[in-house]
Amino acid sequence: MNPVRFGLIGYGAWGSHHARVISESPRSTLVAISARSPETQSKARHEHKDAKVYGDYRQMLAVEQLDAVSIVLPSNLHFDAASAALESGRHTLLEKPMALSIKDCDALNDLARRKGKLLAVGHELRQSSLWGKVKEMIDAGAIGEPQYALIELWRKPYRLGADGWRYDISRVGNWILEEPIHFFDLARWYFSKAGDPVSVFAQANGRRPDRPELQDNFSAFLRFPTGAYAVISQTLAAWEHHQVAKVTGREGALWASWSGAMDRTFEPTFWIKHQRGDAAPVEVPVARMSGEVYELRDQLDHFVRAVAEGTPLAATGNDGKWSVAMCLKAQESVDSGREVRF
């Protein structure tokens, strides 16, 4: 097959990783890049000499022959860029969160349907050799019917982002939409046989009294129709990057762990342990390296197969909408101090 021709919108820290994996894949080619600042445009030209670089993604969409577009921008810009990409007739891989409101999520899903184009959302943990192995084992009955999950992250503070956008709530929406959104998605994915969640109760606080919207510590209790529940917890007031997922069922338990000096390290440590009944826990082999930089490559390969061969997407626009909804309801719970139903 001919390589899938990509345009990339956004060339910040994570956008440059998207460019790398698109360029490295034999099944895709990076045709063009849109970068907002002169500095990132110059960097893109230097690092990807075969790609045409634009300052305006609308010009790129109008001029270039593209099959697909990958969008890696600050969260408040996702809706406009994804709308333009889909309207131009390109399959779209959109970083999370897909938008900052349910109304905008619905509009993007409707547009993708009308145009007959794929809309994939960047929940790359679904492609992980580690977190995906947990899902595979749950679905295979390794722990029986799942009843409880703890998905927890201990890490250093967020990066500022270009122009400090990640610390501007008007542009980021809320901090639950930043990283906990991945853990809400994992919980819903792990408990998919239990049905979609029915309610959430959440609490949060932060270290800066003058910036209460910057919630360094966050925990949520997500309830499912069967009585199963998940606890999602994160602190940004610590060091390095350490994530765990612990899932128990009626017949066993799983514990997955990932640690690195930072989230984008190429040299993490990780493992899964499994206990069945009263037997001693055993370590489960993990097929390949795990971590954001590896999951992004797998996400790209999965998206390319969906474009070229029609295989199912790992995370659809509906999954992206649910993830946004869970985060918005969790913030509503933090603000109101009450459990909130979906």
pLDDT tens readout for residues 15-48 = 999 999 999 999 999 999 999 999 999 999 999 9
Residue 39 is part of a domain; what is its CATH number?
A: 3.40.50.720
Measure Cα distances from 306 to 4, 168, 309 in Å.
11, 35, 5
Confidence of residue 173 (pLDDT cuts 50, 70, 90): very high
Calculate mean pLDDT across residues 172-197: 97
Write down the pLDDT at residue 162: 82
Write down the pLDDT at residue 298: 94
Q: Is the pLDDT of residue 144 over 80?
A: yes
312 and 276 in a common domain = no
305 and 242 in a common domain = no
Calculate mean pLDDT across residues 156-161: 92
Number of neighbouring beta carbons within 10 Å of residue 149: 25
86 and 76 in a common domain = yes
Contact 310, 206 (CB under 8 A): no
195 and 89 in a common domain = no
E strand spans, the chain: 4-9, 28-34, 52-54, 68-71, 91-95, 119-122, 146-155, 199-205, 217-223, 229-235, 241-249, 252-260, 269-276, 282-284, 340-341
108 and 53 in a common domain = yes
244 and 161 in a common domain = yes
Residue pLDDT, tens place only, 81-110: 999 999 999 999 999 999 999 999 999 999
Calculate mean pLDDT across residues 192-218: 96
263 and 158 in a common domain = yes
Calculate mean pLDDT across residues 158-175: 91
Residues 6+ apart with CB under 8 A from 278: none
Percent of the residues in the chain that have a pLDDT greater than 70, as a whole number: 100
Residue pLDDT, tens place only, 111-122: 999 999 999 999
140 and 120 in a common domain = no
Q: What are the phi and psi torsion angles at 244 (to 5°)?
A: -135, 150
Write down the pLDDT at residue 251: 97
Percent of the residues in the chain that have a pLDDT greater than 90, as a whole number: 95
For the chain, what is the mean pLDDT? 96
Calculate mean pLDDT across residues 225-239: 97
162 and 102 in a common domain = no
Write down the pLDDT at residue 320: 98
Write down the pLDDT at residue 286: 96
228 and 83 in a common domain = no
What would the two tokens of residue 88 be?
């131009």
Confidence of residue 161 (pLDDT cuts 50, 70, 90): confident
Measure Cα distances from 49 to 44, 53, 170, 176 in Å.
8, 9, 35, 37
Residue 237 is part of a domain; what is its CATH number?
A: 3.30.360.10
Q: Is the pLDDT of residue 57 over 90?
A: yes
132 and 270 in a common domain = yes
Contact 180, 236 (CB under 8 A): no
Write down the pLDDT at residue 163: 85
Write down the pLDDT at residue 13: 87
218 and 331 in a common domain = yes
| Domain of residue 12, residue span | 4-125+296-316
CA diameter of the chain = 63
Write down the pLDDT at residue 179: 95
- Quote the number of domains for the chain: 2
Write down the pLDDT at residue 231: 98
